[in-house]
Amino acid sequence: MHPPEPGQSAPWHGTTVLTVRKAGLVTVGGDGQVSIGQTIVKANARKVRRLGKGEVIGGFAGATADAFTLFERLEGKLEQYPGQLMRAAVELAKDWRTDRYLRRLEAMMIVADKDVSLVLTGTGDVLEPEAGIAGIGSGGNYALAAARALIDGPLDAEAIVRKALDIAADICVYTNRNVTIETLTT
C-alpha cells in the first residue's frame, strides 16, 4: 500500500468483521485490533454491537468515529422504520451517498436482524450476501473464505464465526484474536 497523497487521510487497517446465518441463528463477530499504518494503537476495540433495541447487530470496518456516526444514523432510521432493517439500510445508504458530510465518512458496515444480513458502503451499496455469509475489513476475505469452507459442516453460526475469525488472524497482520460476538435467533 502506498502512503497517502497530500491532503488525503492515512489508509486504515485493523478490522475483520464477519456475519454468518445458519440454522436459526445469525452471528456477527469482529476482532479488536485498530492500527494506524504499521502500529497497533488498540487491541480491544468493540466493532460489533447491538442496535435498534437489541433487534439488530452491526459491525464496522474503517474509521471508528465515522462508523459510530453511521451507527447513530442507522439507529435513527430504525426508529423511523421499526422492524424494517432493509428499508432503514436503504434510507441510510441514500443519505450516506448524497449528504456532503456523510459522503466523507470512511467505513463499511455489516448489519443483520432476524430476517436479513446486509453489507452497507459509502457508495450507496446495500448488499445481501450470498448464502448469508459476508466479511469486511482487511481480513474480511480470509474470514469469508474460511466461513464458506465451514458452512456445510456441523458447527453453528457462532462457532463458524469464531473459527473463521481465528483463521483470519493467522493470515492478516491487521486482525487479532480479541473478538466480540453477537448472535440473534432467526
Q: Domains in the chain, start-ordered, CATH in brackets?
A: 12-185 (3.60.20.10)
Higher pLDDT, 107 or 178: 178
Edge-first strand order for the sheet with 39-42 is: 12-13, 34-36, 39-42
pLDDT at 68: 86
Packing angle, helices 85-98 and 64-80, rounded to 10: 130
Count each helix (H run) and each strand (E run) in the chain, helices first: 5, 12
| Residue 66 buriedness (CB in 10 A; 0-12 / 13-18 / 19+) | middle
Cell representation of residue 137: 475489513
114-164 pLDDT, tens per residue? 999 999 988 889 999 999 999 999 999 999 999 999 999 999 999 999 999
Whether residue 9 has pLDDT greater than 60: no
pTM of the model: 0.90
Whether the predicted pLDDT of 6 surpasses 80? no
Reply yes or no on whether the pLDDT at 3 is more than 60.
Answer: no
Mean pLDDT of 153-176: 97
The predicted-structure confidence for 90-117, as pLDDT tens digits, reads as follows: 999 998 888 777 777 778 899 999 999 9
β-strand partners of 17: 30, 136
The pLDDT tens digits of the residues spanning 12-25 come to 456 899 999 999 99
C-alpha–C-alpha distance, residues 35 and 173, integer Å: 10
**Inter-residue contact 146 to 167 (CB < 8 Å):** yes
Closest to 136 (Cα-Cα) out of 159, 118, 151: 118
Catalytic annotation, residues: 15
Taking phi over 0 as left and psi of -120 to 50 as alpha, with beta for the rest, 182 belongs to beta
Q: Is the model's pLDDT at 42 over the cut of 80?
A: yes
Task: Break the chain down into helix, strand, coil percent, rounded to 5.
Answer: 35, 30, 35
30: Cβ contacts below 8 Å, ≥ 6 apart: 15, 16, 17, 18, 47, 48, 59, 60, 137, 165, 179, 180
